[in-house]
Amino acid sequence: MSEIRVGILGLGTIGLGAARILIEQQTLMARRLGKTLRLVAAADRSLDRDF
């Protein structure tokens, strides 16, 4: 199965939520899309934020 590599810019409420969904629902999305989505990068402008 081929993969789609995904990067996220911004790790606020929306960015973190999207990352969690990509990771937690990976199997379901792969089944529906016929491709694996893989989170390969994430960036945020604030290095001081505690996740």
- Residue 46 confidence (pLDDT): 81
Measuring CA to CA, how many Å separate 30 from each of 13, 25, 41, 46, 48? 24, 9, 19, 32, 34
The answer as to whether 16 is a domain residue is: yes
Angle separating helix axes 13-24 and 26-33, nearest 10 degrees? 70
How far, in whole angstroms, is CA 1 from its chain's centroid?
18
Give the domain range for residue 18.
Answer: 3-43
The answer as to whether 51 is a domain residue is: no
The answer as to whether 50 is a domain residue is: no
pTM of this prediction? 0.77
What confidence tens digit (pLDDT) does each residue in 8-51 have? 999 899 999 999 999 999 999 999 999 999 999 999 988 776 65
How many domains does the chain fold into?
1
Q: Can you list the positions of beta strands (E) in 1-51?
A: 3-9, 36-43
Is there a contact between 37 and 29 (Cβ–Cβ < 8 Å)?
Answer: yes
The answer as to whether 49 is a domain residue is: no
